[in-house]
Amino acid sequence: MAVLRADFASQARGGSHGRRGLSNRLPFMLIRLLLLLLPVLLLPTALRLSPSWYSGSTSLVAVAAVTPPDTAAVTATVTAALARQLREETRVAFFHAYDSYLTHAYPADELKPLSCEPRSHRNKTRGTLDDALGGYSLTLIDSLDTLLVMREFQRFNEALQLLQQDLSFDRDVTVSVFEANIRVLGGLLSAHQLSLALGRQSNLTYDGHFLLDKAVDLGNRLLPAFETSTGIPYHVVHLQRGVLVGVSKKTCPAVITYCHIMT
């Protein structure tokens, strides 16, 4: 919407020439507006669809997932032996990825799965896809709560020790506000909460404040992105200098949705 307002304002300043340009561009602007509103218009219909519509087409997977399955029926078909097998397969798959990251990519953010090379935040080649990269060991932070849910407490302690040695958000880098919110800030806070909840039931070495302190530090560095007329944050922010002059001022409504769900 901000982009559309800017287009109208720009054309209006152009006088009669601007009005002719506006007339030529109006159909395209209306198409853009329709594309923005399309998910909102289709959502009520999607919510009413039955899972029976799903017949193997991946395009309807999300729609089918709207209606929860009969959990009792599903549980009845999963024996204790099958549950143990599935749990072990999940554990093996997770540690295949996790250990490969630690071996070949840490302290970079991600591992390239085919070449087994680290993906550097200083060599962004995929456009906005690389905005998630910040040089802050993204995959490790994103895995903390999974380690706790899987009750891999010793592996969590080892990951925590690495972060205590290496993690810093005082970095000369521009990052995605959305990705930093859901994966880094969310990863730190969820690991902090789970660690406190587990307490003495485990052999965790967490001191009770490191992850929370880091989350507060990152949150303060993201706050400048929220200083907009609507409160909807900008898409990117610099971790040291805030919102930079000359950088795209596109906003990111997804962050607001995520924050609302979390609260």
Q: Residue 144's pLDDT is what? A: 97
Instruction: Give the gyration radius of the chain's Cα atoms.
Output: 23
Q: Residue 25's pLDDT is what? A: 56
Q: Residue 104's pLDDT is what? A: 96
Nearest to 160 by CA among 120, 195, 121, 109: 195
Going by C-beta distance under 8 Å and a sequence separation of 6 or more, which residues neighbour residue 212? 188, 189, 192
CA 38 to chain centre: 23
State the chain's mean pLDDT as an integer.
Answer: 77
Q: Residue 65's pLDDT is what? A: 45
Q: Give the number of C-alpha atoms closer than 13 A to the C-alpha of residue 237, restricted to the C-beta side.
A: 26
For residues 21 and 89, which has the higher predicted lDDT (pLDDT)? 89
Beta bridge partners of 175: 237
For residues 131 and 41, which has the higher predicted lDDT (pLDDT)? 131
* Residue 158 scores a pLDDT above 60: yes
Overall average pLDDT of the 188-216 stretch: 92
* Residue 200 scores a pLDDT above 80: no
pLDDT tens for each residue of 39-90: 555 555 444 444 443 344 444 344 444 456 666 776 778 888 999 999 999 9
* Residue 38 scores a pLDDT above 70: no
Tokens of 4: 């559309």
